[in-house]
Amino acid sequence: MGNRTSRSDFNETWIMEMPNGINTPGAYEALVYNIKERIEYGAKIIQLPNNLNKIKGNTMVFYWYGDNDHIILATELRVAPEGLIVSLTGKDPKYKGVPPFASQLYDEIIKDTHKALRLLSDTKLSDEGYAIWKKLFNLGHNIMIYDQSNPGQSYKICKSIEDMDQYFAHHNKDYEKYQYVLAEHEEMGDILSIFGLRRARELCGLSTED
C-alpha cells in the first residue's frame, strides 16, 4: 500500500464504497447476525445513554438500540480517513412507525463521534425515509448533498427544507447519484475545505486520482 495523500483520503471517504439505502432488503437480519457474531468472538460492548450500544473496531463500527437478545434498530459504519460511511441500517419490522427512529440514531452517532456521516440518497426513498433528512435538519445538523461522479463542483449545503426538496423525487433514477453528508457545525468547516480543494483540482484539470 502506497503513501496516503489528501486525494486518496478524499476518494476513500467520499467516492468509493457506495453506501446502501436505509432498510434495504435483508439489512436488519444481516446486522443482527454481524453484531451477535462480533459479541460471540469477544467484542467489547460500549453502553451509551438512551439504551444505545456500540462496538468499535479498527475498520467497522456498529451502533444499535436494544439489548444483546433483541436488537431493535442498528447500523454498520465503515471508518474512513475523513468520516464514517453508513453501510447498512436496518430495523425490526415490528417497530415500523414507532421509536426509536433512524434520525435519532444518526443524531446520537454524530454527537458520540463528532465525525461526519456519509449516506446514500436512495432512488426508492419513501416519504417516511425522506422525513429522516428533514428531522436531522431540524435537529440542527448541517446537510450537504453532492453528486458522487462530480463531487467538487456539485456539493451544496442545504439552507432550508426547500433546498433538500430539489434532491427528492419518487421513482427517478437520476437521484441515485446523490450522496448525503451529515455533520455538526464545527465539522462542516473542515469538510468544506476538503471539497473546495477537490473543486479546484477538477476545475484546473488536475488529476483527482493517485
- CATH number, domain of 120, equals 3.40.630
pLDDT digits (tens, 9 = 90+) for 147-180: 888 888 989 999 998 888 887 766 666 666 778 8
Confidence of residue 32 (pLDDT cuts 50, 70, 90): very high
C-alpha closest to that of 132 among 108, 103, 167 = 103
Confidence of residue 52 (pLDDT cuts 50, 70, 90): very high
Q: What is the pTM of this model?
A: 0.82
Does 209 reside within a domain?
no
Q: List the domain range (segments joined by +) for residue 108.
A: 6-203
Amino acid at 55: I
Does 172 reside within a domain?
yes
Does 1 reside within a domain?
no
Task: Look at residue 5 and give its three-state secondary structure.
Answer: coil
| Residue 81 · residue 68 · CB < 8 Å | no
Place of cell 430495523: 91
Does 208 reside within a domain?
no
Number of domains comprising the chain: 1
Length of the chain: 210
Residues 51-71, mean pLDDT to the nearest whole number = 93
Instruction: Tell me: pLDDT of 1 over 50.
Output: no
Residues 6+ apart with CB under 8 A from 209: 7, 11
Amino acid at 35: I
| Residue 59 · residue 78 · CB < 8 Å | yes
Instruction: Tell me: pLDDT of 124 over 50.
Output: no
Does 210 reside within a domain?
no
